[in-house]
């Protein structure tokens, strides 16, 4: 066989092998793609019409629901069958809003009632015909139906409800549950030290609501939906948490987790919590706990905000009658009994609770006690308002409560909260004719493009660039290699910037984007003068951000360079060890680090206070004042940031010629003189770009600020980027406003980049 023939044979064999490989790969891919459709197509489909049900139940609730569905399917075999789909709780609302208005989504869905306002606004639920309600309106516990009604139209059928009640420690309160809060406060004298009469989440408006409602507070004015949450008697009730904490009735850090920790450790006589909670820990082991209705306060009985779990029919259903039949079943008597017996969920019919009602028999069981306590809570409280504007209330109210618990000025906090709400309350800027701002924008864009083209032209004409211009086949090949990078940059970097810039000229009102021109920028940059330099204003945040960046970069630099100089002699020997130690802060995702540090700064159980307790730091609340909260953020970010400077410095130091240093030694320079005159000038060119980079990263360090101090106190430690986040997602969905914020941040950093470009060029 000749050489040529052998080579040809080998080539043939290779081609065949490649073909086989490609075919196999294609078949495998096809199998993967077609797997699910085939399975679905070939699985047996029950006869009859299909009703799709979306829910977010888990565990025992999910089992109970599926049992009910099975029963329903059996009852309607041949005509209908229900196909349940479990959707994660956090994404259910978004999924509904995205799919139902477009004709997709489920036929029936189960959701808590407080989202109803937003869902109706986005056209998700279908009004319920009276046939869908299994019981007459009068049979329902008063107030429950209010939850499933919006703008006078009923949309859902209540399945069950959840209200707050009292969990109490039977050992600390041997005489049984207290009837009044005052009784509970008095028990303070009989309690062992380190225990608290009452622990509830006094920093959350939801848990404070019983006191708010009892004082006569109202979230919305009955007549015109104006916010009245910070007016009148309701506003006064906010001072209560501060008073109770100062009197030692509440623990120093009255938060949700603290409350559970104290109760489970037997250190809280009573806590306010919901029926979802089952005590764990020592108190569970010793079984020394019980449930009771909320006591009364200042002569008035306490009730809470109540959440109603309801079933709704969606607008996109093609079988409304069948869907309503399912809703009626799920809300009906059989389901109610099953829920109560299996899951201790209170039923919705008032007849169950009275004399001769079913609950009487089970009044001594836990389920019975829960149900009774919750019913009383509902009676004295109210269903959480389902208005679309309710979402704006929580955060400001929480802030006032935090201020009160921390002993800060409640009046100032109330003023702050009113202002925050006012910003939500003001009608969004009126839609503007696109004429003037549109023209302005077009001019700016044109100018920007012209400048850019001019700049590119000058750069291209530079002598070294001219040689490497992309021409001919080399050029085409080069373009091909560049293309993925260019596309990625375009999609991931350029497009969001342009979209955000565009969004900054709109405002999100009632589910739609409305053009408002440059009004967002005007609101940000020209706020009312008395508010211009306080927390939550642009200038305050700018000041905090600049201070944050300056201090951080300074600390990173000093610490990094100092450590690099210290480590230099031993660098070569222990190189591997140092590298591992240095990479660790970077290897751990920085949000985990932030959470770790937040835990270390915890007032009660944090490591920092434990270490510093000899100096009187026991129980020191780091996040209660601006200085200390800022300090906590600073410490965390410095821990994260100095390794970068250190490594850059060490790298630069290795390139320092030994002979220059030796010459300076012989010249008689002291260590300090050597550092200043020989070492530092040498590492400066390496440090300048790192400083510029580091300052830009720090300027936008969202994770640390958001997770460690959380902007406490009262948004004072928020930097520009976390402020932008809050405007978008925590203060009433002001997306356009937040986009304007990000455009300003971008502009600021571009300016900074230009200013420092000269400095960086000098070093190059």
Partner 1 sequence: MSVALSFEHVGKKFGETVVLSDVDFKTEAGELVVLVGPSGCGKSTLMRLVAGLETLTEGVIKAGDRVLNDVPPQERGVGMVFQSYALYPHMTVRDNLAFPLYVRGVKPPEREAEVKRVADMLSLGPLLERLPKQLSGGQRQRVAIGRCLVRKPEIYCFDEPLSNLDAALRSQIRVELKALQRELGKTTIYVTHDQVEAMTMADRIVVLHQGVVQQVGKPEELYRHPKNRFVARFIGTPAMNLIAGSVDARRFSSGPLSVALPADGGGARDGTATLGVRAEHIQVHAEGRLSGVVMGVEPVGEAGYLHLAVRDLLFDTAETGRSSDSPRRGLLCASVPGREAFSYREGATVHFDLAEDRLVLFDPKSGAALD
- Give me the residues that bind partner 1 (CB under 8 A), please: 657, 659-660, 662-670, 673, 677-678, 681-682
Report the residue number, 75 or 667, with the smaller CB distance to partner 1: 667
Report the residue number, 494 or 665, with the smaller CB distance to partner 1: 665
Nearest to 677 by CA among 661, 696, 693, 689: 661
Report the residue number, 280 or 673, with the smaller CB distance to partner 1: 673
> 251, 258 in Cβ contact below 8 A?
yes
> 128, 310 in Cβ contact below 8 A?
no
Report the residue number, 70 or 677, with the smaller CB distance to partner 1: 677
Report the residue number, 239 or 682, with the smaller CB distance to partner 1: 682
Dihedral sign from CA coordinates of 314, 319, 321, 325 = negative
Closest approach of Cβ 595 to partner 1, in Å?
44
Task: Please name the helix (run of DSSP H) or strand (run of DSSP E) that holds residue 629, with its range, or none.
Answer: helix 626-654
Report the residue number, 558 or 670, with the smaller CB distance to partner 1: 670
Report the residue number, 152 or 681, with the smaller CB distance to partner 1: 681
Closest approach of Cβ 664 to partner 1, in Å?
7
Q: How far apart are CA 74 and CA 68, in angstroms?
A: 10
Q: How far apart are CA 284 and CA 59, in angstroms?
A: 21
Q: How far apart are CA 396 and CA 229, in angstroms?
A: 10
Report the residue number, 37 or 668, with the smaller CB distance to partner 1: 668
Closest approach of Cβ 668 to partner 1, in Å?
4
Closest approach of Cβ 659 to partner 1, in Å?
4
Closest approach of Cβ 420 to partner 1, in Å?
54
What distances in angstroms separate CA 635 from CA 129, 307, 555, 597, one per listed residue?
A: 60, 41, 9, 9
Closest approach of Cβ 667 to partner 1, in Å?
4
Closest approach of Cβ 671 to partner 1, in Å?
11
Q: Residue 141 has what DSSP assignment?
A: P
Closest approach of Cβ 610 to partner 1, in Å?
46
Considering only the C-alpha atoms of the chain, give the largest distance between any 2 of them, rounded to a whole number of Å.
Answer: 110
Report the residue number, 613 or 670, with the smaller CB distance to partner 1: 670
Report the residue number, 546 or 669, with the smaller CB distance to partner 1: 669
Closest approach of Cβ 597 to partner 1, in Å?
40
Closest approach of Cβ 686 to partner 1, in Å?
14
Nearest to 65 by CA among 86, 81, 88, 43: 86
Q: How far apart are CA 260 and CA 665, in angstroms?
A: 65
Q: How far apart are CA 51 and CA 108, in angstroms?
A: 7
Report the residue number, 183 or 661, with the smaller CB distance to partner 1: 661
382 phi, psi to nearest 5 deg: -150, 160
Q: How far apart are CA 708 and CA 713, in angstroms?
A: 12
Length of the chain: 764
Report the residue number, 604 or 664, with the smaller CB distance to partner 1: 664
Closest approach of Cβ 660 to partner 1, in Å?
5
Report the residue number, 119 or 679, with the smaller CB distance to partner 1: 679
Beta bridge partners of 80: 49
Q: How many CB atoms sit inside 10 A of residue 281's CB?
A: 13
User: Quick one: CA torsion of 680, 684, 686, 691, rounded to 10 degrees?
Assistant: 110
C-alpha angle 399/209/140, rounded to 5°?
Answer: 145
Report the residue number, 132 or 561, with the smaller CB distance to partner 1: 561
| Burial readout 206-245 (b: 16 or more C-beta within 10 A, e: otherwise) | bbbbbbbbbbebbbbeeeeeebbbbeeebbbbbbbbbebb
301 phi, psi to nearest 5 deg: -70, 150
Closest approach of Cβ 572 to partner 1, in Å?
14
Return all residues near 132 (Cβ < 8 A) that are at least 6 apart: 157, 313, 324, 327, 328, 331
Q: How far apart are CA 750 and CA 747, in angstroms?
A: 5
User: Quick one: CA torsion of 349, 351, 354, 358, rounded to 10 degrees?
Assistant: -90
Closest approach of Cβ 471 to partner 1, in Å?
36
Dihedral sign from CA coordinates of 168, 172, 178, 180 = negative
Name the token pair of 594: 């932030």
Q: Please give the span between the terminal C-alpha atoms of the chain, in angstroms, as a whole number.
A: 63
Closest approach of Cβ 661 to partner 1, in Å?
8
Name the token pair of 536: 């939550």
Closest approach of Cβ 683 to partner 1, in Å?
11
Name the token pair of 413: 């906090």
Report the residue number, 191 or 656, with the smaller CB distance to partner 1: 656
Report the residue number, 17 or 684, with the smaller CB distance to partner 1: 684
Closest approach of Cβ 684 to partner 1, in Å?
8
Tally of helices (H runs) and strands (E runs) in the chain:
33, 17
> 438, 518 in Cβ contact below 8 A?
no
């Amino acid at each position: 066989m000749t050489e040529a023939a052998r080579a040809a044979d080998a080539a043939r064999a290779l081609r065949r092998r490649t073909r086989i490989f490609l075919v196999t790969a294609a078949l495998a891919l096809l199998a993967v793609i077609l797997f699910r459709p085939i399975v679905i197509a070939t699985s047996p489909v029950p006869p009859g019409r299909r009703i799709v049900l979306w829910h977010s139940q888990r565990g025992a609730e999910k089992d109970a629901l599926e049992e009910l569905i099975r029963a329903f399917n059996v009852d309607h075999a041949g005509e209908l069958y229900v196909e349940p789909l479990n959707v994660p709780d956090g994404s259910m609302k978004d999924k509904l809003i995205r799919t139902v208005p477009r004709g997709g989504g489920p036929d029936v869905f189960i959701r808590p009632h407080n989202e109803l306002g937003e869902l109706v606004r986005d056209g998700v639920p279908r009004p319920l015909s009276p046939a869908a309600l299994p019981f007459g309106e009068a049979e329902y516990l008063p107030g429950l139906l209010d939850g499933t009604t919006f703008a006078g139209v009923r949309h859902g059928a209540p399945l069950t409800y959840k209200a707050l009640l009292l969990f109490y420690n039977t050992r600390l309160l041997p005489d049984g549950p207290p009837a009044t809060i005052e009784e509970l406060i008095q028990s303070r004298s009989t309690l062992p030290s380190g225990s608290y009469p009452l622990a509830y989440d006094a920093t959350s408006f939801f848990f404070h609501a019983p006191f708010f409602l009892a004082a006569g507070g109202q979230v919305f004015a009955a007549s015109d939906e104006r916010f009245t949450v910070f007016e009148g008697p309701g506003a006064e009730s906010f001072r209560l948490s501060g008073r109770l904490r100062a009197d030692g009735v509440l623990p120093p850090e009255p938060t949700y987790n603290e409350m559970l920790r104290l109760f489970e450790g037997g250190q809280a006589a009573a806590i306010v919590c919901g029926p979802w909670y089952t005590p764990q820990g020592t108190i569970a082991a010793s079984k020394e706990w019980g449930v009771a209705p909320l006591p009364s306060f200042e002569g008035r009985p306490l009730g809470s905000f109540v959440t109603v779990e309801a079933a709704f029919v969606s607008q996109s259903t093609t079988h409304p009658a069948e869907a309503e039949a399912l809703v009626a079943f799920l809300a009906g008597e059989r389901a109610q009994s099953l829920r109560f017996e299996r899951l201790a969920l209170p039923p919705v019919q008032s007849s169950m609770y009275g004399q001769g009602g079913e609950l009487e028999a089970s009044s001594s069981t836990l389920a019975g006690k829960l149900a009774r306590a919750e019913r009383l809570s509902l009676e004295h409280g109210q269903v959480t308002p389902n208005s679309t504007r309710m979402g704006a209330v929580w955060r400001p109210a929480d802030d006032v409560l935090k201020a009160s618990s921390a002993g800060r000025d409640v009046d100032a906090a109330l003023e702050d909260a009113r202002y925050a709400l006012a910003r939500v309350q003001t009608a969004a800027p009126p839609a503007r004719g696109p004429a003037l701002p549109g023209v302005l924008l077009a001019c700016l864009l044109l100018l920007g493009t012209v400048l850019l083209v001019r700049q590119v032209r000058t750069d291209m004409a530079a002598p070294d660039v001219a040689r490497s211009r992309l021409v001919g086949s080399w050029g085409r090949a080069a373009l091909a290699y560049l293309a993925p990078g260019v596309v990625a940059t375009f999609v991931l970097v350029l497009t969001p910037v342009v979209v955000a810039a565009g969004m900054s000229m709109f405002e999100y009102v009632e589910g739609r984007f409305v053009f408002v021109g440059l009004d967002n920028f005007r609101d940000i940059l020209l706020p009312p003068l008395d508010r211009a330099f306080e927390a939550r204003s642009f200038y305050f945040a700018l000041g905090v951000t600049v201070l944050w960046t300056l201090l951080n970069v300074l600390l990173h630099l000093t610490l990094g360079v100092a450590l690099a100089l210290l480590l230099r002699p031993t660098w070569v020997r222990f190189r591997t060890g140092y590298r591992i130690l240095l990479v660790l802060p970077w290897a751990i995702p920085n949000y985990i680090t932030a959470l770790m540090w937040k835990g270390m700064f915890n007032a009660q159980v944090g490591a920092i206070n434990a270490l510093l307790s000899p100096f009187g730091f026991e129980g020191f609340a780091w996040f209660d004042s601006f200085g200390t909260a800022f300090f906590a953020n600073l410490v965390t970010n410095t821990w994260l940031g100095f390794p970068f400077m250190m490594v850059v410095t060490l790298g630069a130091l290795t390139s320092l010629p030994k002979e220059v240093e030796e010459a300076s030694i012989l010249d008689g320079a002291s260590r300090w003189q050597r550092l200043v005159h020989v070492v530092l000038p040498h590492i400066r060119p390496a440090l300048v770009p790192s400083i510029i980079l580091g300052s830009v990263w720090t300027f936008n360090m969202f994770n640390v600020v958001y997770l460690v101090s959380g902007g406490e106190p009262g948004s004072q430690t928020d930097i520009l980027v976390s402020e932008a986040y809050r405007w978008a997602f925590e203060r009433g969905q002001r997306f356009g406003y937040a986009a304007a914020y990000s455009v300003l941040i971008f502009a600021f950093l571009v300016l900074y980049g230009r200013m420092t470009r000269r400095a960086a060029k000098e070093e190059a």
